[in-house]
Structure 1
């Protein structure tokens, strides 16, 4: 057991396999990359493993990746051929996967294990800048069909003990995810939703929870998230965070819109990577 409690995170993971891109497109992700490279410095110690709640995997019941050596899931389209042969060879952890499954089941939430599931780009594109040596054990947790925010919050609550066991919990999504409205068309809706999200996360615990349970009533909510797959990992991270405060650890106008990432717990000091701070 760790001597210290780990924070939880909701991280905007960027687009596609961006850490492996070459050429001008790669430069769009420089600020995001710097913010992710800073993350290990923010932790009280090196984790034993990372649990990634990925917005790119959903099942009828929560599912946990249990392979000791996960492969790759190339769940993106229209990229150059070489980006379908990349590898992020981090190990899995069957023992952690079973522990996660047990915690969810004990909380009355349906959960199973998947020994075939590989790393999707919500995981490997996020983790490559954080642990470029691919030596950190990683287990993935799916979302559940239906996107019930309260249930995903409760899933996070069930997983909160992991924070005292040396496990880093990361929700991987995007604070703005409307593929048809990146660029100028998405600039105003993204900023409106981002401003609401920051205010909601800064509220007292009860008010924060109430706001997030009714996120669809926020300004430009459905323009920011026509489908909430990239927002639900935040609910899990918040449930695991319990009453710990939020701090923004990344923010910028991303591909013409806006994107932010947040840490819950541990050091409250803002990082130097928020370009959207008022």
Structure 2
């Protein structure tokens, strides 16, 4: 059965950079079992009700500003999969999870930056999914869990965001591998709880984790919560493995977690 993943998408510049993290993601895409399709929960698509894409071919959304022109020339025209979309709708319906179908929205950079590094040939169908940061972590986990059987059909489920993502704390001039102690402290706490599959602590991370308010600021928790969707999708196996972690700009975490 194919694992699910939480993958940090970092800053948009990753899309045009060649560094150890982009190289790692390229290798990951080549070494994973070939997925039939990808279901991706992006931090950059928020909605009050779960949204499921039913799109023939996605447009590329440039949901950022002030970056080099080369970023705005990138295209990732992934196609959708009506079959997998129908499977998702059936699973949500059976388990009482409210949802709406989205037929027009393209792929935001939380999706295409990651997908382009994993599958640069744009040859794997994609079903884009929204996240709701206002749900409890347990509710987010349950949405992921409801899709777990898709992994038996070789569907790759990804949560795209960042474990430490505090834009107000970034040090853009520092990119030599320095890591703020608070960012590392939060990630190390997270590592121990994920490896133990300690959902009780994880679901109350805001009060349990050291430096939680810095690592996951209340105004920016949308980047953290895709972790719970991806984790829930592997509830049947309950194993977690940290396969990559590095940092940029003092505290921006590039963590990749494999579940199942």
Normalising by structure 1, report the TM-score: 0.85
- Matching residue of 1:40: 29
How far is 1:253 from its partner?
Answer: 2.4
Contact 2:29/2:117 (8 A) holds in 1:
no
Q: CA RMSD in A?
A: 1.7
1:51 and 1:179 map into 2 onto residues whose CA distance is 27
8 Å CA contact retained: 2:165, 2:223:
yes
Question: Which whole-Å CA distance do the structure 2 matches of 1:124 and 1:111 have between them?
Answer: 23
Per the alignment, do residues 18 and 253 of structure 1 end up closer, same or farther by CA in structure 2, a change over 3 Å counting?
A: closer
Does the aligned pair in 2 maintain the 1:65–1:113 contact within 8 Å?
yes
Report Cα offsets for 1:204-225 as digits up to 9, x if no partner. x3xx111210111211111011
Q: Classify 1:17/1:118 alpha carbon distance in 2 versus 1 (closer, same or farther; 3 Å).
A: farther
1: CA distance between counterparts of 2:135 and 2:70? 34
User: Could you tell me whether the CA contact under 8 Å between 2:12 and 2:109 is conserved in 1?
Assistant: yes
CA-to-aligned-CA distance 1:89-125 (integer Å, 9 cap, x gap): 2211122122212212321111111011101111110
Structure 2: 5+ residue stretches without partners: none
Selected match of 1:230 from 215, 223, 226:
223
Alignment: residue pair count: 250
What is residue 210 of structure 1 aligned with on the other side? 200
1:253 to 210, 225, 247: 247
3-state DSSP class of the match of 1:253? strand
Q: Distance in 2 between matches of 1:37 and 1:82?
A: 20
Separation in 2, partners of 1:133, 1:170: 18
Contact preservation (8 Å) 1:147, 1:228: no
CA distance in structure 1 between the partners assigned to 2:153 and 2:203 by the alignment: 28
- What pairs with 1:162-241 in structure 2 (closer than 5 Å)? 162-183=150-171, 187-203=180-196, 205=197, 208-217=198-207, 218-226=209-217, 227-241=220-234
Of the candidates 79, 87, 97, which is equivalent to residue 91 of structure 1? 79
* Alpha-carbon offset, residue 186 of structure 1: 7.2
What is the deviation of 1:17? 4.8
> Does structure 2 retain, via aligned residues, the 8 Å contact 1:175–1:261?
no
Structure 1 stretch displaced more, 79-88 or 50-59: 79-88
Structure 2 residue 127 is the aligned partner of structure 1 residue 133? no
Change beyond 3 A, Cα 1:77–1:147: farther
Distance of 1:11 and 1:60 partners within structure 2: 23
1:7 aligns with 2:3: yes
Residues 137 and 228, structure 2, Cα contact 8 Å, conserved in 1: yes
Can you list the C-alpha shifts for 1:143-171, whole angstroms capped at 9, x where unaligned?
Answer: 12513211110001100010101100011
- The structure-2 alpha-carbon separation of the partners of 1:145 and 1:234, relative to structure 1 and needing over 3 Å to count, comes to closer
